[in-house]
Amino acid sequence: MIDQLTIDKIMSAAKIEEVVGEYVSLHRRGVNLKGLCPFHSEKTPSFVVSPSKGICHCFGCGKGGNPVNFIMEIEQVNYYEALKMLAKKYGIEVEERELTDEQKAQRSEREALFAANEFARDYFSDILTNNAEGRSVGLTYFRERGINDASIKTFQLGYSLSEKDAFTKEALKKGFSKEYLVKTGLTLDNEFGVVDRFRGRVIYPVQTISGKVVAFGGRILKKSDKLAKYVNSPESEIYHKSDQLYGIYQAKQDIVRNDRCYLVEGYMDVISMHQSGIKNVVASSGTSLTTGQIRLIHRFTNNVTVLYDGDAAGIHASIRGIDMLLAEGMNIKVVSLPDGEDPDSYSQTHNADETVAFLENNAVDFLKFKTQLLMADAGNDPIKRAQLIQDIVKSISVIPDTITRAVYVRECSRMMEIEEAMLFNEIDRIRLNQSTQEQKEAERQRLVEQLKERERKATATTTTTAPEPKKAANPYFREEADLIKFIIRYGALYLFTDEDGSWVSAVDFIKRDLEIDNITFKNTAFQKLFAAAYEHCQSPENCVPYESVFADETSFAKLEDKAAFYANAEVELEKLSRFLFNNSDYEVSQTATNIGIEKYHLSKSQKEQYGQNYHRLRDDLLTLTRALKYKVLLSAISEVKAEIEIADKEHDEQKRKALLEKYQQLNKAKGILYKEKVYIPKNK
Ligand SMILES: [Zn+2]
């Protein structure tokens, strides 16, 4: 649907660090950038972004790839959707051919749901500003709440008419199918017929981290006993409540900039604080925090400040959720607002500087806060006090960092007037218990993930993940992977010359060498990558002349700028790896990333040996192809052995004789493998 030229344009414009940086807070580590993996839960960063290679990779869960792969995975969209998103980000125009009816029908359900939500968002926002009822009811409400036009635009606020099916009628007229309107929850289809879920409500769209609308919240304006004050979209294929935070899209950059996230409760709290100039604020939307939401925050910062309204009941309820933040290794502070105030009202009556000053001056460490709160509750009641100690110890025990735990023990021991040793003992006991439970939970999670993955693969209309290299099924996996790694790094390098004096690239050499023994890669992903690399290196301009990487000893010694020589060698060698990493075949790019990210390390002394390294590199390659051949032979030998045993049992003399002969041949081949059967073109 998108032509190759445009794809190439997008690929070369997309900078991996910029693309990933929108989702993950990255920190420079040498030539690479590092951050917390957005695909699995972790406390220490193992997600690596390599700007020079144009790829990212998680050493924990193995996910990553080039910018397109990354977007596909994180947004759960197909290849074309991912390309379109990148094109939009980099201002590249995408000329799409008109979709045929059949293609339209094939558009994935996810896309259809997003399209319905996008339409609804635009429709509701249009009603709010341009419709008489929208203005007199919706806009008036926002005005009364002190919300200005800029905020209405930023948060894409809207209004849904009170007429029972005004929205649905319009959507159907515009060609959206009822099925998807119902699945997003925008439309209810019940005994009363078709009804708009959000009729007569102001609308707060819920956006993902990248700004896509996954759900809506609607607040009723008329006083009514029968109707709930707030109505939200139901869970759907695209909306999992527990993974979303209201305001994260508008807040993420400011969270990184301030290295802090303010956590509030409602939509209006977020919008008012944002409007007053404090933009690093998100809401969990009423419910207590989930691990999914915590992970979302943790991608951008370690520091969370929770804002509480004055009333104590709410505080008690949400304390549990905060223990989870502690368990994720985050630093939590708590601010209680003055009696009768909430974040919305406070930021409406104070400017940003005043609010920030108040938040900073009144922020209390969470555990201290919790201890004080519970101590006040317990008073002098010994049973309540014992419970309190248990409770605090539990909170401390989930903190992953030993030193932080020790600091808290000291602090709490002082506040509660209990010996440190006693607290430590109790914590050790709980942690011991936890680790066995965690193991069980991790095992369960792994199973759930596996099942989900299997289900997803079975129902997937588009391939969003490359099949994992099948390690168990392929006895040569290690040897094949080593060869592939060599190809990614040196495949395009002219390492040998043919009899007629023409150059032979490493990948070409491997092909010829393996063909002698009829060996092909068993792993299909490797096969594909190998074919792509071979094809690419058929053009001499894609190959690397050996002079640009190697120099003989005398000329190397004479080189004035050795650093420039190394740098140029690196750039030359990366020609093939970049081609593979950014390959338009998803399986190739994914495999290249998985295998190639473990850098083929050149130590400093190796670099300095560039002059002599030429022969060593050839030897390395021969060792790798031999290793594979050897492994293949060994398994052939053991197969024949097994067959001989069967022939023995069956007393099949003829078969036995033939097999023995084969066995001897194979053994002989094994013996001469290192001498004769390797394809060695004439050496230059
Ligand atoms: Zn990961």
Give the model confidence (pLDDT) of 607-618 as tens digits. Answer: 444 444 656 778
pLDDT digit string, tens, across residues 554-598: 777 777 777 777 777 777 888 888 888 888 788 888 888 877 765
Query: What pLDDT, on the 0 to 100 scale, is given for residue 309?
Result: 76
Dihedral sign for Cα 443, 444, 448, 449, please: negative
Cα of 613 from ligand 1 centre, angstroms: 36
Rounded-to-integer distance, Cα 7 and Cα 683, Å: 41
Q: For residue 587, which amino acid is it?
A: E
Residue 311: count of CB within 10 angstroms of its CB: 13
Cα of 44 from ligand 1 centre, angstroms: 11
Q: How confident is the model at residue 599 (pLDDT cuts 50, 70, 90)?
A: very low
Cα of 533 from ligand 1 centre, angstroms: 28
Cα of 358 from ligand 1 centre, angstroms: 38
Across 90-98, average pLDDT: 77
Cα of 74 from ligand 1 centre, angstroms: 11
Cα of 51 from ligand 1 centre, angstroms: 18
Cα of 61 from ligand 1 centre, angstroms: 4
Cα of 319 from ligand 1 centre, angstroms: 29
Secondary structure class of 505 (helix, strand, coil): strand
Rounded-to-integer distance, Cα 233 and Cα 217, Å: 7
pLDDT digit string, tens, across residues 461-506: 443 444 444 445 678 888 898 899 889 988 999 888 887 878 889 9
* Separate counts of helices (H) and strands (E) for the chain: 30, 18
Closest CA to 300 of 20, 57, 73, 88: 20
Cα of 39 from ligand 1 centre, angstroms: 5
Rounded-to-integer distance, Cα 620 and Cα 483, Å: 10
Closest CA to 231 of 217, 244, 252: 217
Bridge partners (DSSP) of residue 230 are 219
Cα of 590 from ligand 1 centre, angstroms: 15
Cα of 45 from ligand 1 centre, angstroms: 9
Dihedral sign for Cα 299, 303, 306, 307, please: negative
Closest CA to 492 of 552, 431, 536, 554: 536
Query: What pLDDT, on the 0 to 100 scale, is given for residue 533?
Result: 95
Cα of 32 from ligand 1 centre, angstroms: 16
Cα of 597 from ligand 1 centre, angstroms: 14
Cα of 42 from ligand 1 centre, angstroms: 8
Cα 432 off chain centre by: 31
Across 640-656, average pLDDT: 84
Cα of 396 from ligand 1 centre, angstroms: 27
Polymer length in residues for the chain: 684
Cα of 46 from ligand 1 centre, angstroms: 7
Cα of 65 from ligand 1 centre, angstroms: 12
Q: What letter does residue 131 receive in the DSSP assignment?
A: S
Cα of 601 from ligand 1 centre, angstroms: 23
Q: Are strands 303-308 and 331-336 parallel, antiparallel or unpaired?
A: parallel
Query: What pLDDT, on the 0 to 100 scale, is given for residue 160?
Result: 97
Put simply, whether the predicted model's pTM sits higher than 0.75 gets the answer no
Cα of 627 from ligand 1 centre, angstroms: 32
Across 128-150, average pLDDT: 95
pLDDT digit string, tens, across residues 228-278: 888 999 998 889 888 899 999 999 888 887 889 999 988 999 999 999 999
Q: Which two tokens stand for residue 344?
A: 């919305």
Cα of 291 from ligand 1 centre, angstroms: 15
Closest CA to 308 of 296, 316, 299, 298: 316
Cα of 399 from ligand 1 centre, angstroms: 21
Cα of 559 from ligand 1 centre, angstroms: 43
Cα of 122 from ligand 1 centre, angstroms: 35
Rounded-to-integer distance, Cα 465 and Cα 178, Å: 31
Cα of 155 from ligand 1 centre, angstroms: 31
Bridge partners (DSSP) of residue 283 are 246, 264
Cα of 582 from ligand 1 centre, angstroms: 20
Domains and CATH numbers, the chain: 4-89 (3.90.580.10), 109-238 (3.90.980.10), 240-362 (3.40.1360.10), 372-460 (no CATH), 477-672 (no CATH)
